[in-house]
Structure 1
Amino acid sequence: MKIMMMIKLCFFSMSLICIAPADAQAEGVVFGYKGKNGPNQWGHLNPHFTTCAVGKLQSPIDIQRRQIFYNHKLNSIHREYYFTNATLVNHVCNVAMFFGEGAGDVIIENKNYTLLQMHWHTPSEHHLHGVQYAAELHMVHQAKDGSFAVVASLFKIGTEEPFLSQMKEKLVKLKEERLKGNHTAQVEVGRIDTRHIERRTRKYYRYIGSLTTPPCSENVSWTILGKVRSMSKEQVELLRSPLDTSFKNNSRPCQPLNGRRVEMFHDHERVDKKETGNKKKKNQLK
């Protein structure tokens, strides 16, 4: 049980002391975002991290127009989230929220993945058409066979993000715990409705990539929501505030695409219906 927990922490990519499987557990390898332990060195910090340097399916990537293929066989994202218990955690290199059992599921290509946790990166790890945004949310799901699917949302500076507004007091408490010297604090959130996190979208991008921190394990299914959402500058700082200075900018640089396909889903029918409705309203006003 203890070994499995260590492996999960590693695969979830949310710990400063990344505990690799098996014989690497006792080594406590430290990785960071700059200097001798920065992203360019991850593959050399531990034999279990080699994929970070030699892998061909690495994440994040810059999603550029010329690399996108429209796939009419893709379906809209099917997610069902529910009420569940949640805990806000300072994992030193990011702020995360773990969910209890029954948080919900996402179905990708007829495969069911269960929602486990979500965490934030500032600034965004993925770029969209060459643009890096203020923040990125990763919702991490896992299938029964151990494979992972991540649904990511990009955020620009703008109006407040409603869910983070609800979490303000908890994030402030997490910051206060760090100032007291507790760098791995946990704050109980209680029962939350994870449906408030779900965002419908008529466009998304999908590709096969990797975890974005060591061990950079590959064959992760990535879904990047096409609509860029907003959070306030204060909320970005709130997500950074529990972290030490060296981890406030916790985004891995974009990795080579290496010939991978980035597929796009676009619900043109919903767009057409919306535009038709707007035209009817305008005609009625004339």
Structure 2
Amino acid sequence: MVTPMHIVHIKKGYSSVSEATKDQSGLAVLGMLYQESPNRNRKYDSIINALSSIKYPGNKTTVGPVSLDSLLPPHCELKKYFRYNGSLTTPNCSESVIWTVFENTTKLSKQQPGIHYSFP
């Protein structure tokens, strides 16, 4: 099984997600799927380390600078994706998203510090 992560981009000219949802192409979401691996993926260390400070639902944390390039699949796999017009996955489920979901999974180790979730 895989675990998803979404990176939401707001179209230029909008200052918030709620404002962008009024436009059918107001949001672009990159969807990546993660699969459990025995090997640590160091590209995600800064995000995973920040996750360890979130103890309860609704808590927030700040992550230092992260290169989007380091979160994406390897360059040779960037041409393998699915793209479609769709909706947000959270209420109000506004149909204002251009989805790009990468075909291949990224590997993460359950043993990396800060990972407190279970792969299904």
TM-score (norm 2): 0.68
Separation in 1, partners of 2:65, 2:106? 25
Separation in 1, partners of 2:10, 2:32? 18
Which residue of 1 is the match for residue 103 of structure 2? 226
| SS class of match (1:191) | coil
Which residue of 2 is the match for residue 156 of structure 1? 35
TM-score (norm 1): 0.32
Report the residue type matching 1:134 in the other structure: V
Separation in 2, partners of 1:188, 1:174? 10
Which residue of 2 is the match for residue 14 of structure 1? none
Which residue of 1 is the match for residue 16 of structure 2? none
Please list, as runs of the form range in 1=range in 2, the aligned pairs for 1:9-88 lying within 5 A after superposition.
Answer: none
Which residue of 2 is the match for residue 172 of structure 1? 52
Structure 1 unaligned segments of length 5 or more: list them.
1-132, 242-248, 250-286
Separation in 2, partners of 1:140, 1:239? 23
Which residue of 2 is the match for residue 190 of structure 1? 64
Please list, as runs of the form range in 1=range in 2, the aligned pairs for 1:136-285 lying within 5 A after superposition.
Answer: 136-144=4-12, 146=20, 147-158=26-37, 159-175=39-55, 178=56, 183-199=57-73, 200=75, 201-234=78-111, 238=115, 240=117
Separation in 1, partners of 2:45, 2:34? 14
TM-superposition CA deviations, 1:11-41 (whole Å, max 9, x none): xxxxxxxxxxxxxxxxxxxxxxxxxxxxxxx
- Where has structure 1 moved over 6 Å in runs of 4 or more? none
| SS class of match (2:45) | helix
Structure 2 unaligned segments of length 5 or more: list them.
14-19, 21-25
Using the TM superposition, give the Cα deviation of residue 184 of structure 1 relative to its aligned residue in structure 2, in angstroms: 3.0
Separation in 1, partners of 2:46, 2:64? 12
| SS class of match (1:170) | helix
Separation in 1, partners of 2:85, 2:31? 13
Which residue of 1 is the match for residue 17 of structure 2? none
Higher helix share: 1
Separation in 1, partners of 2:83, 2:40? 27
Using the TM superposition, give the Cα deviation of residue 156 of structure 1 relative to its aligned residue in structure 2, in angstroms: 1.5
Using the TM superposition, give the Cα deviation of residue 208 of structure 1 relative to its aligned residue in structure 2, in angstroms: 1.2
TM-superposition CA deviations, 1:187-207 (whole Å, max 9, x none): 233333333223332311111
Which residue of 1 is the match for residue 23 of structure 2? none
| SS class of match (2:64) | strand
TM-superposition CA deviations, 1:142-178 (whole Å, max 9, x none): 1135201111111111133333333333222223xx3
Shift in alpha-carbon separation, 1:202–1:191, aligned structure 2, 3 A: closer
Higher RCO (CA < 8 A, seq sep 6+): 2
Task: Report the aligned-residue RMSD.
Answer: 2.6
Which has the larger Rg? Answer: 1
Separation in 2, partners of 1:205, 1:239? 29
